[in-house]
Structure 1
């Protein structure tokens, strides 16, 4: 049993203690009740309004030294602490009631064109790095949406439309600078603190705050083909019938260039099926791969793709425009199933989603279901124990987003999302003959979910799989008092007798 002192929210700190912290920092220290309400509230804001918490202290560091001094202060006073970068998470690890280390002032990107490397401060958004590298005809692997913070998407794994060619976001990190729980800043790479380097690639913030990432870059002298293909509700079954074909006969034969997500979006109470497509090459090539979609007869407009810069294909604005801003409370969960996917599983995936929407038609009116058909071969080619990231398997990823606006429904929607995924997993197990794969934490050598698309309460064995024991040992080494406890926190391994 742990005898650690419980972490506190900092409300009992004296003004002298706060001033002592201020005197050591270049950046600002915002204290609840002392700053203007406008400034304070703006710093609390998050993408998922379900997880906004009123922190007592918000620190806006302007240097690594500021981060180091802040962490020492957190350790000295046993404060509850959270790290904010992009604030674009499902489960809310960037919020807390104690002290927030808000990295928004640290967004510098330096590109070495000759070495094909980008060095990004820990507060960068994906868009900062994408645009800086694209300007010099290079490309960085980030996630599907450019509003995410580089810290979360990188340490959480990070799936991209480029992953079939270049792997996960975390697979493209060559080094990092990490602030540890005692305030020290260390380098993590294959040659320095290699165990820590292993842990931050998929282990989230369990071992420290990453102040700087170094990413390898890839040549890029061309635009990409990207766009949405929407279909009327009466073609829902036809869309489902295309999933295996699109994946096996098109995506898997594109040399990693063709990436597709199927989706089902609610519009005025009706579920509309569609595809989000991406092709890393010229339009004439892309047209060959989207032919099955065009043959199915999409709605035109708004359907169709066009040639755009890669950074435009990840622009959050195109996705945000689909959802009325008042619907901003979100819970998501996910699971995977191997190909070819049974028609029964495909039908259940959508039917169950429609059933849930029908229970709350006024509240879940902008929810969505994502079916990731992308090629995971490159991701799965990396040995499971090469990084902390444990979901290295191929298969169709299903992610559900329930989106609503009434705080009174928070616990209900959380339960509905969990029920959706558990029911779907059971159907997978029974129908796709994948005994063990659909059980949380039970399938061979990996997990059944994407850890960046969950409610944050999944069992650790389902997130880290067989890597969990090593995670615990690293936790004992780098964070024995569990300062970093906001993203699937791992308990330190017990000391041997």
Structure 2
């Protein structure tokens, strides 16, 4: 069992740290309050101490101290976990927000980013050198949490997941060692962190593969009245029969302020010119959207488009859902009805949304399941239920509604012709999963046992357990 940090331990820790590391407690007032703030208000917990280091060596000291004293430890990158996994009640938080440096080598096309960087930092630094990499679709998300759980983005159709493009990383493991991991160095740990990294240490540095991105892209939203939903889904089903990795979309149910009913928003992305984009998405424009915000823009503006759906504050929950590759029209209509009725019943949830990501999945599926821990590579389309509300007395009821939608989607997948009964893949995207959700018993599919063995090797006392926790497995070999 792990424990809160005591006042005496705070003093002992302070004596061990370099003067560059800030160590905050509740006595530090506004600075402390800012350090425990999170994207979601319900994820805020009152840490016993928050350490804000600037060097990998200082992170190592903090991990060693937490391990030696059996402290509850949380690691904050971007602070986007709605389940509170980047927070601790009374324990020690390592806040990486002062470690956001990004270096880009145009010749090697490698992007090296510190663990506290946000995707905005990566996108902006890379585009200055004419490069881009797969990254989060909300650019104030931290790179660490998203990468360690797999990571998908607008470029996924072209280049796969974020971890498919991770070349190297530096990880501070439970005994305080700072390990470089890659295909050639500590390869077993490199295998594990690509999908299950939250369980194995503090990631203080990532090296991503970049790709040429000198052209502008076409992206933005098209808004439709709900009576167009059937035609929209049928259009996407027809369109996606032909592989087009440079294009992607996201079908969203949302209720913008002032709108009498929930609408359907299609966010589109095309890595090319406007004429080609409008030709590819002609079926959408033919359905006469009531509003269009899509336009040509620099690539580094792309991942800010969904920021209005993801503002800081209020209470939040994210639920992973999955739909069939060939999207069932009647089922999606049922999801819209559920969403619309819930907002009518509970107007405090009006900022909530439900989205289905539509991109070419062939690149994701081309990577063998056993090549890394990330196991969400089935012939399905990931989706997300993004819940938002203000009334804390409704926390459990609102989360329960999200879990109901999640269960409905899972049941539909299992009943579909596309489901083969395969247990090697995970049915939901692990980055959208919270404690208590359906996936948590087997988030890594067929890779679960190997991860448990590696957990015994690198973290036998389970210092890192906040996200999709893994129980160590002792074998004769280890």
Query: Shorter-chain TM-score category?
Result: over 0.9
SS in 2 for 1:421: helix
Q: Distance in 2 between matches of 1:413 and 1:258?
A: 34
Tell me: CA distance 1:31–1:234, structure 2 relative to 1, closer, same or farther (3 Å).
same
- Correspondence for 1:64 among 44, 56, 60: 56
- Correspondence for 1:350 among 336, 339, 348: 336
Hey, what does 1:304 align to over in structure 2?
Answer: 293
- Structural mapping, 1:414-425, within 5 Å: 414-425=399-410
Query: Does 1:450 find its partner at 2:429?
Result: yes
Q: Distance in 1 between matches of 2:318 and 2:177?
A: 35
Q: Distance in 2 between matches of 1:85 and 1:14?
A: 24
Structure 1 range deviating more: 348-357 or 96-105: 348-357
Structure 1 range deviating more: 237-246 or 131-140: 237-246
Hey, what does 1:201 align to over in structure 2?
Answer: 194
Hey, what does 1:117 align to over in structure 2?
Answer: 110
TM-score, with length taken from structure 2: 0.94
Structure 2, unaligned runs of 5 or more: none
Q: Distance in 1 between matches of 2:344 and 2:222?
A: 24
Query: Does 1:11 find its partner at 2:3?
Result: no
Q: Distance in 2 between matches of 1:448 and 1:158?
A: 15
Hey, what does 1:465 align to over in structure 2?
Answer: 445
SS in 2 for 1:79: coil
How many correspondences in the alignment? 473
Query: Does 1:163 find its partner at 2:143?
Result: no
RMSD over aligned Cα atoms: 1.9
SS in 2 for 1:148: coil
Contact 1:90 1:456 in 2 (8 A): no
Contact 1:259 1:373 in 2 (8 A): yes
Contact 2:321 2:385 in 1 (8 A): no
Hey, what does 2:371 align to over in structure 1?
Answer: 386
Contact 1:25 1:61 in 2 (8 A): no
Tell me: CA distance 1:356–1:340, structure 2 relative to 1, closer, same or farther (3 Å).
same
Structure 1 range deviating more: 339-348 or 43-52: 339-348
Structure 1, unaligned runs of 5 or more: 1-5, 438-442
Per-residue CA deviation, residues 350-404 of structure 1 (Å, 9 max, x unaligned), is: 22222333331x2111111101111111011100010110101232223211211
Q: Distance in 2 between matches of 1:298 and 1:435?
A: 34
Tell me: CA distance 1:462–1:289, structure 2 relative to 1, closer, same or farther (3 Å).
farther
Q: CA deviation at 1:325?
A: 6.5
SS in 1 for 2:432: coil
Q: CA deviation at 1:323?
A: 6.9
Q: CA deviation at 1:92?
A: 2.4
Hey, what does 2:280 align to over in structure 1?
Answer: 289
Query: Does 1:137 find its partner at 2:130?
Result: yes
Q: CA deviation at 1:13?
A: 3.1
